[in-house]
Amino acid sequence: MGTEGADIRVIAGRYRLEARLGRGGMGVVWRATDQLLGRRVAVKEIAQDNSLSAEEARQQRDRTLREARAVAQLSHPHIIVVHDVVVDDERPYIVMELIEGGSLADRISAGGPVGAQDVARIGVALLSALNAAHAAGVLHRDIKPANVLMESGSDRVVLTDFGIAQVAGATTLTETGSFVGSPEYTAPERMSGSRTGPESDLWSLGALLCTALSGESPFRRDSLGGILHAVVFAEFSPPDQAAPLLPVVQGLLERDPERRLGATEAERMLRTFLDTGRTPQASQVPASPPSATDRQHGYTPTHRDLPSQQPPAAAPPRAGQSTRGMLVAALLVAAMAGAGVSAAALLMNGDDDGDGRPGSSAPHTPADTSSTAAHTSSSATSTTSPAARTSSGAPNTSTAPAPALTTAPSGYRVARDPAGFSFAVPDGFRRDSQGERVFYLSPGDTFRIGVKVTDPEPGGPLAVMRRAAAKGPDTNPGYRDGRVTETTQGGRPAALWEFTWNGFNATEGARHTYDLCWEEGGRMYDVWVSAPVGKVREAREYFDVAVDTFVRT
């Protein structure tokens, strides 16, 4: 039992709590003395909620023990050392090494932005710590400036507070629906609850580095709903102060965890900056052939047929993982956190339009609906007359259409279009014909699936797409990151064009487009999907399903 005097309290008959160092969501940290060994320590007293049931209180103690086990596995100069775990008066305490000095959050609060050299040094230390933790199967899951300690009188950076860490193979104590962590530093995929891995810690680190460089979290908003919207949907605009380390910050804050910068590469880039004053671009890692697991999770011809010397344009979403799932989870988090109607409304608006644009069930005007078509291949924008068009080579000997599509994946329906094709489109999408172009539009027109069927053009699909890409800046405001990749569709030559652009007005916001063009049966087919940049994972899913199920009729 603990004893308590006017100024001190002794727990477990050994540790004298002397002064409060700080308070967090999981409890109070005390400066203390280990009376048995005669050394200074830090003791974390886990907060107790008297309203908890006996089972809930047990789960809380289990969480504490799990934290201690997780950190006790690790031996690294940049990870806090755990000395002991004790239970006193049914309350758990964690005894750790005492770091003399404040947190990174304290430093930012007192002095504002941190210089790029110091931020790079902090990043290298934390990446080294995360590499060690991840190798041991330990995820931190709450990386933020308040959990990074800066030792006075040395350059030592220490990662602490593994209070919600998840050890591989251990039971997840948050599966009941409660959300743990700091939303401003929580990766988008964690919002869905469908995936948490080392990549999620790296996202958090990217947000931390950006915060240190600018003095403020890039995802800070006035409400929880606003924060969740910023993390999951809104376009990320890095602050000017992040420029020296921008390749690292942007790489770590890539929303797609499959494309996110890895810890080893990020550490290499930061070390190069420390040595040279310049941050290199990330190395391009050759793509590997698809594995059985890839195919099981929907690895499609769109990805499989990309040449091995170039990485896929985007990784396929895992089963059950989409922006739709992130939105639902974000709404639940907002509701559980008491954010109320305002947060829910904000996020609901995000699902309707992705960028705050008022939803509308009315069809676009021809100029607006062609915002995905005007950008597509020159088969969608060509002014060449039909008589002038010629085939790029010998026609495909197979002219018979494939069997009609009869089934669609869950959440989709079969669209048998009078223009002479069928494919799977998401439930709730409506058809809108615009001359040669046929659109299938989501509610609010956030997602636009377009199809155009024309005569073949000179040079075949690859030449068509390259000509279209050359006109990209003229047809798509703010055109950037465009690339054309030679691929195949159903064994036939094809070309994939991917790019980002600003949308046709400020209200529409930045968008990303996937566009595939191929020839079949003496005709040229062009299928594309356009969506807000914050919803590229869901857009990629729609694109892959459309292409993989497309059948001419």
Give the pLDDT confidence of 484-542 residue by residue, as tens digits: 999 999 889 999 999 998 876 666 678 899 999 999 999 999 999 999 887 887 888 89
Q: What is the pLDDT of residue 141?
A: 85
Q: What is the pLDDT of residue 164?
A: 56
Asked whether residue 64 falls in the same domain as residue 151, the answer is no
Total domains present in the chain = 3
For residue 146, what is the DSSP state? G
Q: Is residue 494 part of a domain?
A: yes
Instruction: Please give, one letter per residue, the 3-state secondary structure of 240-263.
Output: HHHHHHHHHHHHHCCCCCCCCCCH
Q: What is the pLDDT of residue 342?
A: 34
pLDDT digits (tens, 9 = 90+) for 166-179: 555 444 433 334 45
Residue 38 has pLDDT above 60, yes or no: yes
Asked whether residue 378 falls in the same domain as residue 517, the answer is yes
Q: What is the pLDDT of residue 507?
A: 62
* Averaged pLDDT for residues 55-72: 74
Which CATH number do you get for residue 80?
3.30.200.20
Residue 78 pLDDT level (bands cut at 50, 70, 90) = very high
What is the Cα–Cα distance from 301 to 488, expressed in whole angstroms? 8
pLDDT over 90 percentage in the chain:
42
Q: DSSP for 202-228, please give it.
A: HHHHHHHHHHHHHSS-TT--SSHHHHH
Asked whether residue 379 falls in the same domain as residue 493, the answer is yes
Instruction: Give the Cβ contact number of residue 204 at 10 Å.
Output: 26
Residue 310 pLDDT level (bands cut at 50, 70, 90) = very low
pLDDT digits (tens, 9 = 90+) for 226-251: 888 888 877 788 899 999 999 999 99
Structure tokens that stand for 365 in this block: 């005007």
Residue 5 has pLDDT above 50, yes or no: no
Domain end position, chosen among 97, 115, 135:
97
Asked whether residue 326 falls in the same domain as residue 234, the answer is yes
Asked whether residue 241 falls in the same domain as residue 337, the answer is yes
Domain end position, chosen among 350, 376, 391:
350
What is the Cα–Cα distance from 223 to 28, expressed in whole angstroms? 25
Is residue 218 within 8 Å of residue 190, measured between CB atoms? Answer: no
Q: Which of 44, 78, 88, 58 is nearest to 267 (CA)?
A: 78
* Averaged pLDDT for residues 28-42: 94
Asked whether residue 407 falls in the same domain as residue 544, the answer is yes
Domain end position, chosen among 97, 115, 137:
97
Residue 116 pLDDT level (bands cut at 50, 70, 90) = very high
Residue 425 has pLDDT above 70, yes or no: yes
Is residue 42 within 8 Å of residue 96, measured between CB atoms? Answer: yes
CA dihedral sign of residues 499, 284, 324, 289: positive
Q: Is residue 292 part of a domain?
A: no
Q: Which residues contact 508 (CB under 8 A, 6 or more apart)?
A: 355, 357, 371
Q: Is residue 355 part of a domain?
A: no
Q: Is residue 293 part of a domain?
A: no
Residue 295 has pLDDT above 60, yes or no: no
Query: Among 3-12, 17-26, 430-439, 447-456, where is mean pLDDT lowest?
Result: 3-12
Q: What is the pLDDT of residue 245?
A: 96
Q: What is the pLDDT of residue 227?
A: 87
Asked whether residue 424 falls in the same domain as residue 543, the answer is yes
From first CA to last CA, the distance across the chain in angstroms is: 79
Q: Is residue 290 part of a domain?
A: no
Query: In which domain, by residue range, is 406 found?
Result: 360-552
Q: Which residues contact 312 (CB under 8 A, 6 or more apart)?
A: 287, 303, 306
Sort 111 into a burial class: Cβ within 10 Å, 0-12 / 13-18 / 19+: exposed
Q: Is residue 408 part of a domain?
A: yes
Q: Is residue 123 part of a domain?
A: yes
Is residue 314 within 8 Å of residue 540, measured between CB atoms? Answer: yes
Q: What is the pLDDT of residue 249?
A: 96
Sort 170 into a burial class: Cβ within 10 Å, 0-12 / 13-18 / 19+: middle
Asked whether residue 424 falls in the same domain as residue 479, the answer is yes
What is the Cα–Cα distance from 103 to 475, expressed in whole angstroms? 49
Is residue 35 within 8 Å of residue 10, measured between CB atoms? Answer: yes
Asked whether residue 428 falls in the same domain as residue 499, the answer is yes
Sort 257 into a burial class: Cβ within 10 Å, 0-12 / 13-18 / 19+: buried
Q: Is residue 43 part of a domain?
A: yes
Which CATH number do you get for residue 329?
1.10.510.10
The mean predicted confidence, pLDDT, of the chain is 75
Query: Among 177-186, 203-212, 479-488, where is mean pLDDT lowest?
Result: 177-186
CA dihedral sign of residues 270, 271, 277, 280: negative
What is the Cα–Cα distance from 72 to 509, expressed in whole angstroms? 47
pLDDT digits (tens, 9 = 90+) for 389-422: 333 333 343 445 555 566 788 888 999 999 999 9
Asked whether residue 124 falls in the same domain as residue 24, the answer is no
Instruction: Give the Cβ contact number of residue 206 at 10 Å.
Output: 28
pLDDT digits (tens, 9 = 90+) for 123-145: 999 999 999 988 888 888 889 99
Residue 478 has pLDDT above 80, yes or no: yes
Asked whether residue 185 falls in the same domain as residue 137, the answer is yes
pLDDT digits (tens, 9 = 90+) for 339-375: 333 333 333 333 322 222 223 333 232 223 333 333 3
More confident residue, 358 or 317: 317
Is residue 414 within 8 Å of residue 408, measured between CB atoms? Answer: yes
Asked whether residue 68 falls in the same domain as residue 35, the answer is yes
For residue 376, what is the DSSP state? S
More confident residue, 37 or 313: 37
Which CATH number do you get for residue 424?
3.40.1000.10
What is the Cα–Cα distance from 423 to 430, expressed in whole angstroms? 13
Residue 79 pLDDT level (bands cut at 50, 70, 90) = very high
Residue 313 has pLDDT above 50, yes or no: no
- Please state the length of the chain: 553
